[in-house]
Amino acid sequence: MTTPHRLLSRAEAQVHKNLFTMTDKAHQAVEQAMEALKTQNAELAQEVIDADLQQNHLMRIVEKECLQILATLEPKAGDLREVVASLQIATELERIADHAKDIANIVLGMDASDFSGPMDRLAAMGDLCQNMLVQVMEAYENLDAGLAEHVASHDHQVDELDEEACSSLMMTLMSTGDISMHATHLLWIAYHLERMGDRITNIAERVVFMVTAETPELG
């Protein structure tokens, strides 16, 4: 392996390492935000909010690393696709953590005395998003386009759960009002979970692009 190739491999390995650190932080943020919702734990919600600064910092590091690779190492073909895809994946991981942070902020504004609604569907959405995130990054690590497409196929389940939760909450709004804003808060939480599913599908598309040089419409 020539020196430029060694430098490129080393630089790409560092990007991969930081992306998986971002993945761990995004997964933890979603898990903790949903636990804070379930238990109405304000301290845990605040932890999610505070930790988001680290995720933002990591995204800036990955951006810098990828742009440096593009500017100084001039990657070609598959390496170029991988660097571009990694840069886009970092953005999606940062946004997934943002959605978790937004859920945590909503939890802080909720009235703990009013705890009703389609919590089972919201919990299922959170679990599904966490599982999809783990699998899509496994697809990234192994350059497995088939697994990426499999992950994206689950996005419709997130959408279906979102529709069920929102239908239930809209019925509440129309029949009893929402003086405490509880139903409105849960509607926003459902929105953020649905968007997480979309973000993970975007990552799946980037993985397929890395492997096949095609950008499919998944999900």
Burial group, residue 214, by CB count within 10 angstroms (0-12, 13-18, 19+)? exposed
The percent of residues above 90 in pLDDT, for the chain, comes to: 76
Q: What is the pLDDT of residue 127?
A: 98
Quickly count helices (H) and strands (E) in the chain: 7, 0
Determine the average pLDDT of the residues in 159-180: 84
The percent of residues above 70 in pLDDT, for the chain, comes to: 93
Gap between the Cα atoms of 97 and 54, Å rounded: 10
Determine the average pLDDT of the residues in 104-132: 88
| 161: amino acid identity, one letter | L
Q: What is the pLDDT of residue 219?
A: 61
- 9-41: pLDDT as tens digits: 899 999 999 999 999 999 999 999 999 999 999
CA 157 → CA 92, 132, 152, distances in Å?
Answer: 20, 11, 10
Contact yes or no for 134/30 (Cβ under 8 A)? no
Q: What is the pLDDT of residue 92?
A: 98
If one compares 117 and 202, the residue with the highest pLDDT of the two is: 202
Spell out where 16-139 has E strands. none
Determine the average pLDDT of the residues in 160-166: 96
Residue with tokens 């929102």: 166
- Is the pLDDT assigned to residue 113 strictly greater than 80? no
Gap between the Cα atoms of 135 and 138, Å rounded: 5
Mark residue 77 as left, alpha or beta (left: phi above 0; alpha: psi -120 to 50; beta: remaining): left
Gap between the Cα atoms of 217 and 196, Å rounded: 17
The whole-model pTM stands at 0.93
What does the buried/exposed string (b/e) look like for 26-59 if buried means 16 or more CB atoms within 10 Å of the residue's CB? bbbbbbbbbbbbeeebeebbebbbebbeebeebb
Q: What is the pLDDT of residue 114?
A: 56
If one compares 24 and 182, the residue with the highest pLDDT of the two is: 24
- Is the pLDDT assigned to residue 115 strictly greater than 60? no
- Is the pLDDT assigned to residue 177 strictly greater than 70? no
Average pLDDT of the chain is 91
User: Euclidean distance between the first and final Cα of the chain, in Å?
Assistant: 39
**119-142 and 3-39 helices cross at what angle (nearest 10)?**
170
Q: What is the pLDDT of residue 1?
A: 47
Determine the average pLDDT of the residues in 158-164: 96
Contact yes or no for 54/11 (Cβ under 8 A)? no
- 53-90: pLDDT as tens digits: 999 999 999 999 999 999 998 888 888 999 999 999 99
